[in-house]
Amino acid sequence: MLQPIMSTDDLQPLTDDPRPSGGRQAESLVLVNTGNGKGKSSAAFGVMVRALARDWKVAVLQFVKSGDWKVGEEKIGRSLGVTWHSLGGGFTWDSEDLQHDIDLARTAWATASQVLAAGEHDLVILDELTYLCTWGWISTADVAEAIRSRPSHVNVIVTGRDCPQEIIDLADTVTEMRHVKHAYDNGILAKRGIDY
């Protein structure tokens, strides 16, 4: 049974304004969606749609999914003008050549660092990037430096489990998705339209 995070006595409408006094606008933000629960990429693609509605130029770089995948977010993103790069080799458990996947990852990161530095997009989504760092396929220090050194107007979202502390430290907002229950737990496979 799911245990409540707080008692029902604590669930009252806010009466005090929670916003910080003297708040300021930031030219750009870095968001991280991490944790072992579902929804990290889905949340990033929700922000993608919001950014597009504000006439922002958006780029998505996916580091695990390959161009062979037919995912709904790519279909709608491309139709709305998103620059989309599916640069991975797919799930590592399906790989017949991990060294090939590592080489793809390094090439993918080179592409991503160029996209960040170019400053042509208002939002850059680095989907599934954390895995490449935690597996040691690319340098976390290089990733952190590229994000820190980006042009000041470029907003960034990083997704994936086990986000390295160095990236968490430079982020403005970090959300950890917590696994409570998932259809997979009952043997239900990914559903088109919900999971991809």
Residue 117 lies in a domain: yes
Residue 22 lies in a domain: no
Residue 8 lies in a domain: no
Whichever domain contains 120, its CATH number is 3.40.50.300
- For the cut 60, the answer to whether the pLDDT of residue 2 exceeds it is no
Q: What share of the chain is helix, strand, coil (3-state, %, to 5)?
A: 40, 15, 50
Q: Bigger pLDDT: 37 or 90?
A: 37
Q: Bigger pLDDT: 19 or 134?
A: 134
pLDDT at residue number 92: 58
Which residue, among 181, 191, 175, 185, has the nearest Cα to 47 in the 3D structure?
175
Look up residue 72 and give its amino acid.
G
Residue 10 lies in a domain: no
Residue 196 lies in a domain: no
Which residues constitute the domain of residue 158? Answer: 28-178
Q: Which of 88-97, 119-128, 173-182 has the lowest mean pLDDT?
A: 88-97
Number of H helices, E strands in the chain: 6, 6
- Total structural domains within the chain: 1
In this prediction, residue 88 has a pLDDT band, given cuts at 50, 70 and 90, of: confident
In this prediction, residue 21 has a pLDDT band, given cuts at 50, 70 and 90, of: confident
Residue 65 lies in a domain: yes
pLDDT at residue number 186: 87
Residue 120 lies in a domain: yes
Residue 92 lies in a domain: yes
